[in-house]
Amino acid sequence: MHVLVMASQKGGSGKTTLSGHLAVEAEMAGVGPVALIDTDPQGSLSHWWNARQSATPHFAKVGLLELGQALNQLRTAGIRLAVIDTPPAITASIAQVVAHADLVIIPTRPSPHDLRAVGATVDIAERHGKPVLFVVNGATPRARITGEAAVALSQHGVVAPVTLHHRVDFAASMVDGRTVGEIVGKSQSAKEIRDLWLYVQDRMSRLTGDPKLLPDLKPSHFAIGPLSALDERGTDAEPPPPPDEAPLMPERRFQAERRINVTPFSGPDRRAHPFGRRAVDRPI
């Protein structure tokens, strides 16, 4: 059995919605049986599952102290994938869950406040030696800040090549216990979820060395439009400067300063670290 954990210390990042959608997508992809585990005292995932008509994925409401025992029971029962939703802003609680993870997914909205809140979650994952996957969530289509957020996150881990955009159907699907793929299977939102799960499935297979988890389709083609330097109107934000006056590209500037530069985001200190912690000295 493999364990996928959704973690973020900032509320409103989309952990619960992503947990339900990826669990359902995993079942549809033949990776099941899948079990959802809700460790958030607010119980948002529990309310969604109770409104659901389908019997899958399975569900378990588990306290943090009983999590290890519950995972062993699910493993004995034949569950192949456990997807765990975590509470926000409680470091000790998140750490207990992350300790059981095969992969930690950190949904992050493309905003300076969300980026600064990511550091604590990354620290927890690194402390337990767990791989991290960032998912840019709730993005505005063709907004420049989406690409800037992906560049900043890439300095601390792998960023999923699939961006989830802000659409009403994501929230609406959580009302009656369904997902966007179950309501409108041909929508763009449903395609983003399918592509994201395909990438997550492939990555988990490589991390765990489990060939049975390899997807039938390889995640080889993903749209790069959300990462392009376009503004909200879909046009080039500004013409490139002449070659002799061209500044360093962001990647080179990061390498020269050995820290993440938050130039794309306004603030009193443009050299401050967006995660609110010391930058990790890593090669580019």
**Residue 212 belongs to what domain range?**
2-236
Reply yes or no on whether the pLDDT at 123 is more than 50: yes
Interatomic CA distance for residues 261 and 272, integer angstroms: 7
Residue 163 lies inside a defined structural domain of this protein: yes
Provide the token pair at 24.
Answer: 């359902």
pLDDT digits (tens, 9 = 90+) for 176-235: 889 998 888 888 999 999 999 999 999 999 998 888 887 766 555 444 444 443 444 443
Residue 48 lies inside a defined structural domain of this protein: yes
Q: Report the domain count for the chain.
A: 1
Going through the chain in order, the beta strands assigned E by DSSP cover 2-6, 34-38, 58-61, 81-85, 103-108, 132-136, 158-159
Task: Write the CATH number for 214.
Answer: 3.40.50.300
Residues whose CB is less than 8 angstroms from the CB of residue 167 and which lie 6 or more positions away in sequence, other chains included: 188, 189
Interatomic CA distance for residues 246 and 122, integer angstroms: 33
**pLDDT value, residue 279:** 41
pLDDT digits (tens, 9 = 90+) for 91-111: 777 888 999 999 999 999 999
> If you average pLDDT over every residue of the chain, what do you get?
78
Backbone φ and ψ of 6, nearest 5°: -100, 120
pLDDT-above-90 percentage for the chain:
44
Residue matched to tokens 């550091």: 119
- The arrangement of strands across the sheet holding 34-38 comes to 58-61, 34-38, 81-85, 2-6, 103-108, 132-136, 158-159
**pLDDT value, residue 179:** 92
Contact 51, 177 (CB under 8 A): yes
Reply yes or no on whether the pLDDT at 54 is more than 70: yes
Residue 89 lies inside a defined structural domain of this protein: yes
* Global confidence as pTM: 0.76
Reply yes or no on whether the pLDDT at 166 is more than 60: yes
Three-state secondary structure string covering 38-61 = ECCCCCHHHHHHHCCCCCCCEEEE
Residue 268 lies inside a defined structural domain of this protein: no
